[in-house]
């Protein structure tokens, strides 16, 4: 037993002296090692095979198990490194909640503008009769969005950015973390996710910009992310809109996925430009160092 403890301590010491990318790889390896046995057992119970697309009923339990493990691992990492979640940008302050609220509003507003524009062009149609279904999904989807986006922001725009920033310029750290953020979405579904990878990467970059604009806090990024998840999922679950097929797929998004089309890019870039204006009192040099 003493031998295993000594080997473990030596391994941790060597990891401490490793590069940021090695530490990041070790984090995701530990996350996968703890989750995969649980996910395998759950997949058997849910009768899901990796070659088959996930239904919502199958995905939610798998997602829940994955995101319940992540904060625990991150707590261990923060304790080992002698930092707290506040160093990752997660603070328990009134101003933080205000930032979350602002981000939530901005995320929903960006979707309203995006889909209103497509509706005016005849690219989407609204099913007004289905709006009565909206109150049933609003709160559950909001809570789900808060949980998912909060976990992802803590990992990708919190821990990951902090680790990478120790060795790279912030913009380089943003590029690397956004690539990882996009690629990891392939876990759930490959066919429909592949066309969305560029959009997911841009989304990651915008969310890093949100942390920068919010004085290195995650509130604005968390709210934005929640707003996008909340808005898009409510539209889908309540079946409020449908694509008419009149708009080109490269504009509206392949597979009716907004992130896989030009419209989605324009939405994200518009939010990014606004974030630059919100952070106008900060020096752009902060984003380059």
| Within a domain: 158 | yes
104 with 138, same domain: the answer is: yes
How many domains would you assign to the chain? 2
4 assigned to some structural domain: no
Please name which of 71, 85, 80, 84 lies closest in space to residue 34, comparing C-alpha atoms.
Answer: 71
pLDDT for res 14:
53
End-to-end CA distance of the chain: 45
Is there a single domain that holds both residue 134 and residue 275? yes
For residue 36, being part of any structural domain is answered with: yes
Specify whether the CB–CB gap between 271 and 106 falls below 8 A.
Answer: yes
Alpha carbon of 184 to those of 28, 152, 187, 194, 196: distances in Å?
A: 10, 11, 6, 11, 12
Same domain, 152 and 125: yes
* pLDDT tens for each residue of the chain, 289 residues long: 444 334 334 444 555 557 888 888 989 998 999 998 888 888 888 777 766 777 777 778 888 888 989 888 898 888 888 888 899 999 888 989 999 999 999 999 999 999 999 999 999 998 877 788 888 889 999 999 999 999 999 999 999 999 999 999 999 999 999 999 999 998 877 788 899 999 999 999 999 999 999 989 999 999 999 999 999 999 988 888 899 989 899 999 988 899 999 999 999 999 999 998 877 655 444 544 4
Tell me the β-bridge partners of 124.
Answer: 243
Residue 12 lies in a domain: no
- Of 82, 105, 124, the domain-final residue: 82
Phi, psi of 82 (to 5 degrees): 75, 35
* Pair (74, 113) in one structural domain: no
Q: Alpha helix (H) ranges present in the chain?
A: 2-16, 20-46, 56-81, 94-120, 134-152, 160-165, 170-183, 197-213, 219-237, 249-252, 262-278, 285-288
The predicted pLDDT at position 177 comes to 96
- Specify the pTM: 0.89
Structural domain includes residue 9: no
Distance CA 158, CA 20 (A): 14
**Residue-range definition of the domain harbouring residue 142:** 90-288
Give me the pLDDT at residue 202, please: 97
């Amino acid at each position: 037993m003493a031998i295993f403890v000594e080997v473990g301590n030596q391994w941790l010491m060597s990891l401490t002296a490793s590069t940021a990318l090695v530490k990041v790889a070790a984090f995701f390896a530990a996350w996968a090692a703890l989750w995969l046995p649980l996910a395998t057992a759950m997949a058997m119970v849910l009768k899901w095979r990796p070659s088959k697309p996930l239904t919502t009923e199958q995905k939610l339990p798998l997602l829940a198990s994955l995101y319940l493990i992540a904060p625990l691992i991150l707590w261990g990492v923060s304790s080992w490194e002698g930092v707290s979640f506040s160093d990752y940008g997660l603070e328990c302050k009134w101003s933080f909640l205000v930032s979350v609220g602002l981000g939530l509003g901005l995320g929903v507003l960006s979707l309203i503008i995006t889909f209103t524009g497509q509706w005016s062009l005849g690219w989407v149609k609204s099913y007004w009769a289905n709006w009565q279904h909206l109150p049933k999904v609003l709160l559950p989807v909001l809570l789900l969005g808060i949980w998912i986006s909060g976990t992802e922001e803590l990992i990708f725009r919190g821990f990951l950015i902090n680790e990478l920033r120790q060795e790279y310029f912030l913009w380089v750290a943003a590029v690397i973390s956004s690539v990882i953020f996009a690629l990891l979405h392939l876990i759930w579904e490959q066919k429909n996710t592949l066309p969305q990878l560029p959009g997911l990467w841009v989304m990651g970059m915008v969310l890093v910009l949100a942390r920068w604009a919010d004085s290195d806090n995650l509130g604005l990024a968390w709210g934005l992310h929640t707003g996008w998840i909340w808005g898009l999922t409510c539209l889908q679950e309540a079946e409020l809109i449908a694509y008419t097929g009149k708009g080109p797929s490269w504009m509206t998004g392949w597979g009716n996925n907004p992130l896989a089309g030009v419209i989605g890019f324009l939405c994200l870039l518009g939010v990014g430009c606004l974030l630059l204006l919100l952070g106008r009192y900060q020096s752009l040099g902060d984003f380059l160092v």
